[in-house]
């Protein structure tokens, strides 16, 4: 399949070398996503080239952060609002020692993740949790329990910082995948990030075929998140922490 060459080459540009088994896992992912998307809305298009660029490669852009984060070690990852598995599942395929907690408030979407994990043989490296981030972050075993929190297309940065930073261990990272709005969202979220114990370390820019510029916002956890955050379910989105 020609598109899988695009995947391999594109991953290489993000410093990720995919072997044949990993490429095969992405092929299975694409196949199942196409099947599921006919009845459960996971992505807007299942055209192979689009899924590879817009979802698989976009998720792998974290490879650009290798100077800031040691990616070649065993890392525990939480993906908040994973939907069709982005960015968590491509990361789990690409980094074979990582473990993932895939979270979404819509249980139906996680049904897809469950079947996919079985097909890919990665059930021992994934925990699938139907929950709201605001509630899950209150559980002692989840709070400040992860090396990395990632999220894409869930909400603005001041809102997702409140969802994600409580899960990150000190010295870990919250990595937010953003479109070109990254800079303005970051300005708006500076105070929230600092209240939650984070510090923006860098914004890495990249581009994907047919897409506008994308950004990875890397926020380091420099202090523990105060116990009052996240606020009650729905409050972070309704009343985002302000400047």
The residue within the footprint of ligand SAM, chosen from 1, 106, 115, 179 (CB under 6 A), is 106
φ/ψ of residue 108, rounded to 5: -60, -35
The residue within the footprint of ligand SAM, chosen from 10, 63, 83, 198 (CB under 6 A), is 83
> Does 167 contact ligand SAM by CB under 6 A?
no
Q: How far apart, in whole angstroms, are the C-alpha atoms of residue 178 and residue 50?
A: 18
| Tokens describing residue 208 | 């994907």
Q: Kindly indicate which of the ranges 13-21, 146-154, 194-202, 216-224 contains the residues binding ligand SAM, using the contact rule CB under 6 A.
A: 146-154
The residue within the footprint of ligand SAM, chosen from 64, 91, 102, 109 (CB under 6 A), is 109
The residue within the footprint of ligand SAM, chosen from 25, 105, 176, 225 (CB under 6 A), is 105
> Does 161 contact ligand SAM by CB under 6 A?
no
19: which residues sit within 8 A by CB, 6+ positions away?
A: none
Residue 132 or 156: the one with the smaller Cβ distance to ligand SAM is: 132
Contact 186, 105 (CB under 8 A): no
Measure the CA angle with vertex 43, ends 23 and 143; round to 5°: 80
> Does 84 contact ligand SAM by CB under 6 A?
yes
The residue within the footprint of ligand SAM, chosen from 33, 78, 110, 154 (CB under 6 A), is 154
Residue 45 or 184: the one with the smaller Cβ distance to ligand SAM is: 45
Helical (H) or strand (E) element with 34: helix 20-37
Q: Kindly indicate which of the ranges 22-30, 45-53, 150-158, 209-217 contains the residues binding ligand SAM, using the contact rule CB under 6 A.
A: 150-158
The residue within the footprint of ligand SAM, chosen from 86, 112, 146, 173 (CB under 6 A), is 86
> Does 163 contact ligand SAM by CB under 6 A?
yes
What letter would DSSP give residue 57? I
Question: Helix, strand, or coil here: 232?
Answer: coil
Q: Kindly indicate which of the ranges 22-30, 128-136, 141-149, 179-187 contains the residues binding ligand SAM, using the contact rule CB under 6 A.
A: 128-136
Question: To the nearest 5 percent, what fractions of the chain are helix, strand and coil?
Answer: 45, 20, 35
> Does 147 contact ligand SAM by CB under 6 A?
no
| Tokens describing residue 141 | 């075993």
Q: Which of the residues 33 through 72 are near ligand SAM (CB under 6 A)?
A: none
- Dihedral, CA of residue 107, residue 50, residue 214 and residue 229, to nearest 10: 0
φ/ψ of residue 221, rounded to 5: -85, 110
What residue ranges bind ligand SAM (CB under 6 A)? 80-84, 86, 103-106, 109, 132-134, 152-154, 163
């Amino acid at each position: 399949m020609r598109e899988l060459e695009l995947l391999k080459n594109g991953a290489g540009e993000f410093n990720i070398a995919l072997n044949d088994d990993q490429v095969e896992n992405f092929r299975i992912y694409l196949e199942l996503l196409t099947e599921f998307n006919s009845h459960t809305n996971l992505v807007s298009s299942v055209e192979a080239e689009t899924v590879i660029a817009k979802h698989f490669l976009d998720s792998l852009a974290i490879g650009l952060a290798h100077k800031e984060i040691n990616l070649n070690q065993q890392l525990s990852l939480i993906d908040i609002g994973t939907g069709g598995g982005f960015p968590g599942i491509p990361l789990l395929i690409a980094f074979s020692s990582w473990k993932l907690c895939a979270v979404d408030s819509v249980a139906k979407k996680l049904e897809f993740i469950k079947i996919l994990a079985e097909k890919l043989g990665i059930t021992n490296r994934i925990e699938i949790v139907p929950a709201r981030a605001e509630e899950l972050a209150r559980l002692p075993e989840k709070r400040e329990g992860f090396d990395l929190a990632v999220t894409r297309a869930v909400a603005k940065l001041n809102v997702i910082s409140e969802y994600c930073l409580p899960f990150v261990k000190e010295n870990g990272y919250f990595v937010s995948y953003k479109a070109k709005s990254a800079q303005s969202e970051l300005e708006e979220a500076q105070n929230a990030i600092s209240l939650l114990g984070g510090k923006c370390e860098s914004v890495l820019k990249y581009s994907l075929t047919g897409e506008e510029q994308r950004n990875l916002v890397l926020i380091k956890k420099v202090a523990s998140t105060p116990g009052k955050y996240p606020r009650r379910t729905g409050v972070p989105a309704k009343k985002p922490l302000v400047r």
